[in-house]
Amino acid sequence: LVQVLCSSFFVIFISTVYFMSKPRTIYLVDYSCYKPPVTCRVPFATFMEHSRLNLKDNPKSVEFQMRILERSGLGEETCLPPAIHYIPPTPTMDAARSEAQMVIFTAMDDLFKKTGLKPKDV
């Protein structure tokens, strides 16, 4: 009885290790990038004005942000989430959730439209 149990366990263990270590096949059909609306764009001047208003008590932070912005390589058409556009910013869970929904669902809808797939097929 002990030998049967040990051999059964060994067979199950070996088969589990085999199936877990086997690489899964993944097919890339197409890809999609999120393109934010024009209302999310923030020029440097606007970003720095918002920074000055939000960090008026800490001028060193404003100077630091200006240096980072100049050296970062970000363009005049850089986009920020809608929650950051408010003065003061509203970084809430609801804002983060709506931002994630906006980005993920827009990109996925675009991908499904490009490929002709249905969400059920994935």
Contacts of 112 (CB under 8 A, 6+ apart): 118, 119
Q: Is residue 94 scored above 90 in pLDDT?
A: yes
Residue-level pLDDT at 54: 84
Confidence of residue 68 (pLDDT cuts 50, 70, 90): confident
For residue 91, which amino acid is it? P
Confidence of residue 97 (pLDDT cuts 50, 70, 90): very high
**In Å, how far from its chain's centre is CA 93?**
15
Confidence of residue 53 (pLDDT cuts 50, 70, 90): confident
What average pLDDT is seen over the chain? 87
